[in-house]
């Protein structure tokens, strides 16, 4: 496996486009395709999934890229090629509300300071697969159940129960509640159980179930039920509700990546930047 083949592979992987890679390397498209095929045959694995519309890395391709990208970049720097290298991409995912709030603004700060890095952000509450969905990094709220992932804690998220003012008045809530009474109140929940310091609990009176925090907050503002939200989302119109015999658990916002991957320098740089807050 020669150096030129690895450079060609990383160029195609960076663009996920054979034509753009051929243009950057100034070689015919047919040669790019042939040399990638020869590399795949030599390694005995398929590196790219190719259709008429898109190119994506296979899991083996992702593993190879993670192992060779930093050495290739280092060699290019030594050889003086860094100035000609295109912007490096970080493909990441985060919850929509986090993107709209703290994470989104920090990502913009990061790219302002690092104009050579390009971000590809997918805002979703679903846990995307790192290899199938071609994701480098995920921001997720812990605790995390997958032991195969590395989770770097970034900051704490404090949670509170809350409800709209009319809801509080209608149900005569004038002070802290017992957990038993709270579980009987009309509630708005997500796909997960409520996490308390003592463990998880489930409402006995679920009115609506949403998988986005912004919908939970909106429904609570409309006095449809009591819900559990990050403290920073509880604004005007919502009343915090405390408990006499329990308390919501604080949770961690984490930067998450697969444990078996060699983390590229640009992703380490982003994680350190986010953690520095």
pLDDT digits (tens, 9 = 90+) for 219-276: 999 999 999 998 888 888 899 999 999 999 998 888 888 754 556 778 888 999 998 8
85 pLDDT band, cuts 50/70/90, is: very low
Closest Cα partner for 146 from 129, 132, 131, 158?
129
Fold classification of 159-249 (topology level): D-Maltodextrin-Binding Protein; domain 2 (3.40.190)
Residues of the chain with CATH 3.40.190.290: 159-249
Q: Is the pLDDT of residue 183 over 90?
A: yes
Express each pLDDT in 105-164 by its tens digit.
899 999 999 988 889 999 887 788 777 777 888 998 876 765 667 888 888 889 999 999
What does the pLDDT read at residue 43?
82
**Cβ(264)–Cβ(70) under 8 Å?**
yes
b/e burial code for range 143-165 (CB count within 10 A of at least 16 → b): eeeeeebebbebeebebbbbbbe
Residues of the chain with CATH 1.10.10.10: 3-84
What does the pLDDT read at residue 125?
77
Residues of the chain with CATH 3.40.190.10: 88-156+252-275
pTM of the predicted structure, to 2 decimals: 0.60
% of the chain beyond a pLDDT of 70: 87
163-182: average pLDDT? 94
Question: Given its phi and psi angles, is residue 96 left (phi above 0), alpha (psi -120 to 50 degrees) or beta?
Answer: alpha
Architecture of domain 3-84: Orthogonal Bundle (1.10)
Q: 149 pairs with which residues across the strands?
A: 258
The per-residue pLDDT of the chain, averaged, comes to: 83
DSSP 135-169: -SEEEEESP---TTEEEEEEEEE-EEEEEEHHHHH
Q: Which CATH superfamily is domain 88-156+252-275 in?
A: Periplasmic binding protein-like II (3.40.190.10)
Highest average pLDDT, of 1-5, 28-32, 78-82, comes from 28-32
């Amino acid at each position: 496996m020669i150096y030129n083949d690895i450079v060609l592979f990383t160029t195609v992987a960076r663009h996920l486009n054979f034509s753009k890679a051929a243009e950057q390397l100034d070689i015919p498209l047919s040669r790019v395709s042939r040399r990638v095929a020869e590399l795949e045959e030599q390694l005995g694995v398929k590196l790219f999934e190719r259709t008429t519309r898109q190119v994506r890395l296979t899991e083996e391709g992702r593993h190879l890229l993670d192992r060779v990208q930093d050495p290739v970049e280092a060699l290019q720097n030594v050889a003086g090629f860094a100035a000609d290298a295109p912007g490096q991409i970080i493909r990441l995912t985060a919850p929509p509300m986090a993107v709209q709030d703290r994470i989104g603004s920090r990502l913009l700060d990061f790219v302002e300071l690092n104009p050579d890095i390009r971000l590809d952000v997918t805002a979703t509450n679903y846990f995307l697969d790192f290899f199938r969905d071609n994701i480098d990094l995920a921001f997720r709220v812990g605790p995390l159940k997958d032991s195969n992932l590395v989770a770097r804690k970034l900051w704490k998220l404090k949670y509170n129960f809350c409800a709209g003012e009319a809801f509080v008045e209608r149900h005569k809530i004038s002070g802290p509640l017992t957990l038993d009474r709270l579980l009987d109140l009309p509630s708005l929940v997500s796909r997960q159980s409520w996490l308390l310091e003592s463990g998880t609990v489930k409402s006995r009176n679920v009115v609506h179930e949403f998988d986005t925090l912004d919908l939970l907050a909106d429904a609570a503002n409309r006095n449809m039920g009591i819900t559990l939200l990050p403290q920073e989302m509880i604004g005007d119109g919502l009343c915090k509700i405390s408990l006499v015999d329990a308390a919501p658990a604080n949770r961690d916002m984490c930067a998450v990546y697969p444990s078996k991957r060699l983390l590229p320098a640009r992703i380490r740089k982003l994680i350190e930047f986010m953690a520095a807050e």
